[in-house]
């Protein structure tokens, strides 16, 4: 499965996407990439053999579907998938989708505003998730880091989830979505033998800032 491993090329792509649709998603993406890099480096210290450049780039570009403008729900994930599939980078295409579903192919319908997603997109997203239900470690790290970084820097999982909930609303199924992030966090922390937060410099500063809503 082909991924982008050239950082200069990855930066070129996200800069282009930002020019198409400027917004806080850009700095969020930079911070997700930083968090992913820190965690992958630490996992390698624990004996893993992970390509840090591959993970960094995939994290940097996970929201590239936003180049098309503001989209509801996980439509940007679909747009990102199509974008990278056409470029020939299926690995990056899949990350654009999996990062939005911490429960993998379980409870797909709990995605925010799922009812607003066109039918043909739903069918394709479900297909992608079913074919990639055993998310590899890159997908897991990026999915978690997506919930640990905003446009200002690193933040606690609780604060990030509450902020998203206040801005986009919650449903009776939201807790299932949140549990997915905590499950990944626990799994990675067992591999790292330490708290994820220790790998995110300055995260403690987030407790002194207001929640975005």
Q: Consecutive sets of 10 residues in the chain, 213 residues long: mean pLDDT of each? A: 96 98 96 98 96 98 95 88 97 94 67 80 90 84 95 92 79 82 96 97 87 73
In-domain check, residue 166: yes
- What share of the chain in percent tops pLDDT 70? 94
For the chain, the average pLDDT equals: 90
What is the CATH classification number for the domain harbouring 115?
Answer: 1.10.3210
* Span 64-117, pLDDT tens digits: 999 999 877 789 999 999 999 999 999 999 999 999 888 765 556 666 677 788
User: What is the reported pLDDT for 109?
Assistant: 66
Q: Which two tokens stand for residue 53?
A: 């450049």
Q: Are 76 and 28 in contact (CB under 8 A)?
A: no
In-domain check, residue 213: no
In angstroms, the CA 143 to CA 122 distance is 20
For residue 172, what are the CA distances in angstroms to 8, 147, 165, 176?
Answer: 43, 20, 12, 9
In-domain check, residue 109: yes
In angstroms, the CA 143 to CA 64 distance is 15
The residue segments making up the domain with residue 177 are: 7-208
User: What is the reported pLDDT for 212?
Assistant: 72
Q: Are 14 and 179 in contact (CB under 8 A)?
A: no
Give strand pairing partners of 154: 149
In-domain check, residue 1: no
User: What is the reported pLDDT for 176?
Assistant: 84
User: What is the reported pLDDT for 133?
Assistant: 67
In-domain check, residue 24: yes
In-domain check, residue 99: yes
In-domain check, residue 2: no
User: What is the reported pLDDT for 104?
Assistant: 63
User: What is the reported pLDDT for 36?
Assistant: 98
- Domain count of the fold of the chain: 1
User: What is the reported pLDDT for 193?
Assistant: 96
User: What is the reported pLDDT for 169?
Assistant: 74
Q: Which two tokens stand for residue 10?
A: 């990855």
* Span 61-79, pLDDT tens digits: 999 999 999 877 789 999 9
């Amino acid at each position: 499965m082909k991924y982008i491993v050239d950082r200069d090329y990855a930066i070129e792509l996200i800069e282009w996407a930002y020019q198409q649709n400027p917004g806080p998603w850009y700095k969020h993406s930079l911070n997700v990439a930083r968090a992913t890099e820190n965690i992958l480096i630490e996992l390698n210290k624990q004996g893993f053999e992970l390509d840090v450049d591959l993970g960094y780039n995939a994290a940097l570009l996970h929201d590239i579907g936003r180049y098309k403008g503001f989209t509801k729900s996980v439509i940007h994930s679909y747009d990102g998938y199509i974008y990278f599939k056409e470029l020939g980078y299926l690995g990056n295409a899949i990350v654009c989708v999996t990062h939005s579903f911490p429960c993998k192919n379980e409870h797909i319908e709990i995605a925010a505003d799922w009812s607003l997603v066109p039918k043909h997109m739903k069918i394709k997203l479900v297909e992608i998730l079913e074919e990639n239900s055993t998310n590899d470690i890159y997908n897991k790290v990026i999915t978690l880091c997506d919930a640990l970084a905003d446009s200002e820097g690193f933040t606690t999982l609780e604060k990030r989830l509450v902020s998203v909930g206040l801005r986009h609303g919650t449903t009776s199924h939201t807790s299932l979505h949140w549990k997915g992030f905590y499950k990944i966090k626990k799994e990675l922390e067992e591999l790292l033998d330490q708290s994820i937060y220790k790998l995110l410099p300055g995260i403690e500063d987030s407790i002194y800032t207001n929640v975005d809503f």
